[in-house]
Structures are given as C-alpha cells and as structure tokens.
Amino acid sequence: MDLTEHFFFNLSLLIVLMFFCVLWVERLNNLLQIQQIAILYFVVSFFLCFAFSYPIHDGFLFDLKNIPLIISGLYMGLGPLLGLLTICIKAFYGINDSFWVTFTLYGVITISLWRLSPVFLKLSSNQRIYFSVGLTFLFSLIQTVLEFLHLPYPKYDLYFAVLFIQPLGVGMIAYFMEEITRTILLRQHLLNSKRLEAVEQMGASISHEIRNPLTAAIGFVQLLQSENISMESRAQYLSIIKKELKSAERVIQDYLTFSKTEDFLTETIHVHDQLMQAVQALQLTAKKKSIKIKTFFSNDLVIIGDKQKFHQCFINIMKNGIEAMPRGGTLTIETESTSSAVNILIKDTGTGMTPDQLVRLGEPYYSTKGNKGTGLGLMVVYSIVSAMNGTIHVESEINSGTTFKFTFPLLSQSLEQIEILENKKEYVLS
C-alpha cells in the first residue's frame, strides 16, 4: 500500500495549500484578485503533484496531476494550459510509445474539459461536485485501461490509488471550491444589504431633518399671505423663513459632502491660518454662550488637502464643542507636529460622552444630540479626514469634556515657502 499512502500524503498537501489560500482570500474583496489566487493555487498544485510523482515500474511515474487539471479545467478553464504542460513534461523524458499514449489521453482530456466547462458552470452546486467526481472516475478508468493494466505492480494498490484517491481528491477540492464561492457570494450580499440599510436609514434621517424646516417655512409663507399683517411681522417672518431654508440647505450640503469625498482638491493647506479662520467664524457664537476659545499653535504647519473641506471639518468639530458647553466653558485648539505628521487637538469642557456614544461616532444616522441632530455633521468630518489620509482619535468622559485628536501627514516645507517660527505662540480669544 506504499502508493496509496504516498498519494494520501500528496492529497493532504493539496488540502493544506488550499487552506492557506482560503486565509488569503478572506482578506480580499476584489473578485479579480480572488480569481488570480485560485489560478495560482491550481498551477502550484499541478507542479506539486509532479514533485511527488511515484515510480511504479522502469521509470514509469504516476502522480495526482489529474486532480488540479480536472478541477481547474472545469472551474477556471485552465484545462488546455495544464494539459499542454503535461504533454511537454512527458516529452522531456523522451518521445516513445508512452509519450504518444500520454499525448492522446491528455489531448482528449484537455479538449473534453474545454468543451464541458461552459455546461459545467451552469449546473447547481451539488451537480457540479457529482459531475466532477464522475468525470474524474471516468478518466481514471480510461487511464487504467490504457496505461496501467500491463504494469507488474500490485493491482489492488494501483487500482485503489487511481480509481479512488483521484475522484476523492477532486470531490473534496470541488466541495471546498463550492463552499468558498458560496461564502464569497454571501459576504457580498451581506455588504450590499448593509449598504442599502445605511442608505435607507440615512435617507429617512435626511428626509426628517429637511421636512422640519420646510414645514416651518411653509407655515410662515401662509402667514405672509394674510392681508392684515404688519411690515414688522412681515420682516420677522421672512427672516425666520430664510433661517429655516438655510437649515435645510445645510443638511443637504452635509450629505453631498459625504457622498462626494472623491471630489477633493489637492492644494497646500496652512493649518494655522485655516484654524484661525474657523475660530473667527465661531467667535460671536462662543461669546453669546460665555465660552472662551484658546489656541496654542506650533510652528506654521503645512499639509495637503482641500482647504474648503478642511475648513468645514473643523467648523463642525468646534461648533459641536461649543454646543456641548451650554453653561459656558473653554474650547482649546492646539497643534503639534512630529517628523512625519501634524496633530490637531480640539478640547472642550462640556458634557462629555459615554463609551457607547464614542463607539458610534461618525455613523450617518446617529447623533449625540438626540432629536436635535442628524449625525451628518460628524459623518462629514470622518469622511473628510479619511479622504485626506488622516485619522481621528476621540477621548471623552461624562461631565469632564471631550478631546478630538486629528492626525494628518505632514508636508515637508522649505525655507523659501515659510518662515519657521521657533517659539510656540499662544493666542487667547475672549
């Protein structure tokens, strides 16, 4: 039973190799890359079978190359390639009667696999497994009649290896192929379902947030149609309508920013200047809520990105920090740098967040403000930072405040571009 034991060992190597390929495939989502790994597996398996050929009689070698040949021929259309390799390798050992038997046998096998593959792929999963096993048994039987009947080798060992191990190996690998394919399809279906669910929830949230200001605006438009309305009331109503329409426009703009993050400009951003512009834009709002803004900026730092979206990102974060301090407090904006990165820290002394709230930050339909927010603001922030190859780290504690830490790749600066400031500057805006 030496031949049987040898081939069981060879078959186990093919299974182990497939196991590592499955681990590799699990990390991929691209179907083209998955197909390339499958092709690589069958080619490596083919040569591995040749490497473990077993000498039966007078230099006559037997191996399990039919397993990768048949499976790859049916599933991947590689039958002609591997069949040609088989004939070429056989020719390397000499052109004799054995070569012409191999040429005829594998010529028939190759053509059969090429013609059967399109029909095979239309079958159901179980039918493909049974078909591949039956076809392998048929080819093995033909091979036994043409090549092995005359050999002076223990018949039971030889016939068992040819007629049982080869169909068994094909059946096992075909089963694994079907399961891997089913898993990939299920994973894609699940991802598509999650995306659809997120879009539906986002759409419902956006619809709700737009409907509220529009409903209010429609109500005041109806009041404006009254004949007895005073000029003072008319002006007040128009101001409210304008405010409500701007609120609806802001929700739409946040959604568009999230959905079109690929439309980023690539330009030089001076971090200090952009942050100061955001601070100045929110200074009046901060004063009304008794909030003090402090800025601590390092040397003028430069990164690459879209200025407008960078500005929008930090307007959203600073505004959230201000809204988190209804009783006043301090908003601190600080920058620091390493040899390769820029860190921007936004700290508030507000209400803080729970660990559960921290985990859900950035979800398109989740807001820590309850019914007063859509979650679109932070969703936009996470989207912009990701598009600029940045990262966000958030720390928060209830009643102690929240710290957002943004990290962006640093753009190397020359002396001609900026004047390097050695001392750290402190700006206190009250």
- Over range 298-309, report the average pLDDT: 84
3-state SS class at 60 = strand
- More reliable by pLDDT, 60 or 186: 186
Show the tokens assigned to 110: 């190759």
Instruction: Name which of 249-258, 296-305, 317-326 the model is least confident about.
Output: 249-258
Of the ranges 222-231, 277-286, 339-348, 349-358, the best mean pLDDT one: 339-348
Instruction: Give the pLDDT band of residue 284 (cuts 50, 70, 90).
Output: confident
Predicted confidence (pLDDT) per residue in 131-158, tens digit: 999 999 998 888 777 766 666 666 777 7
- More reliable by pLDDT, 404 or 338: 404
pLDDT of residue 149: 66
The CA distance from 80 to 94, in Å, is: 21
Q: Which of 307, 407, 315, 403 is closest to 361 using CA atoms?
A: 403
Is residue 194's pLDDT more than 80? no
Q: Cβ-count burial of 330 within 10 angstroms (0-12 exposed, 13-18 middle, 19+ buried)?
A: middle
Is residue 292's pLDDT more than 50? yes
- Over range 26-48, report the average pLDDT: 83
Report DSSP letters for 266-318, one per residue.
Answer: -EEEEHHHHHHHHHHHHHHHHHHTTEEEEEEE-S--EEEE-HHHHHHHHHHHH
pLDDT of residue 225: 84
Q: Residue 161 gets which letter from DSSP?
A: I
pLDDT of residue 366: 57
Query: What single letter denotes the amino acid at residue 168?
Result: L
Long-range contacts (CB closer than 8 Å, 24 or more residues apart) made by 239-243 = 240/216, 241/217
The CA distance from 161 to 53, in Å, is: 13
Of the ranges 188-192, 269-273, 296-300, the best mean pLDDT one: 269-273
The CA distance from 95 to 99, in Å, is: 6
The CA distance from 369 to 139, in Å, is: 69
Predicted confidence (pLDDT) per residue in 72-129, tens digit: 888 888 888 888 888 887 777 777 777 787 788 888 888 888 888 888 988 998 999 9
With beta carbons less than 8 A apart as the criterion, state whether 28 and 34 touch.
Answer: yes
Q: Which of 69, 89, 87, 85 is closest to 77 using CA atoms?
A: 69
Q: What is the pTM of this model?
A: 0.48
Q: Are strands 329-337 and 291-297 parallel, antiparallel or unpaired?
A: parallel
Instruction: Name which of 216-220, 257-261, 404-408 the model is least confident about.
Output: 257-261
**19 Rama class: left (phi>0) / alpha (psi -120 to 50) / beta:** alpha
The CA distance from 62 to 85, in Å, is: 16
Q: Residue 227 gets which letter from DSSP?
A: T
For the chain, give percent helix, strand, coil, nearest 5. 65, 15, 25
Is residue 425's pLDDT more than 50? no
- Over range 57-63, report the average pLDDT: 71
With beta carbons less than 8 A apart as the criterion, state whether 348 and 312 touch.
Answer: no
Is residue 250's pLDDT more than 60? yes
The CA distance from 225 to 36, in Å, is: 69
Mean pLDDT score of the chain, rounded to an integer?
A: 80
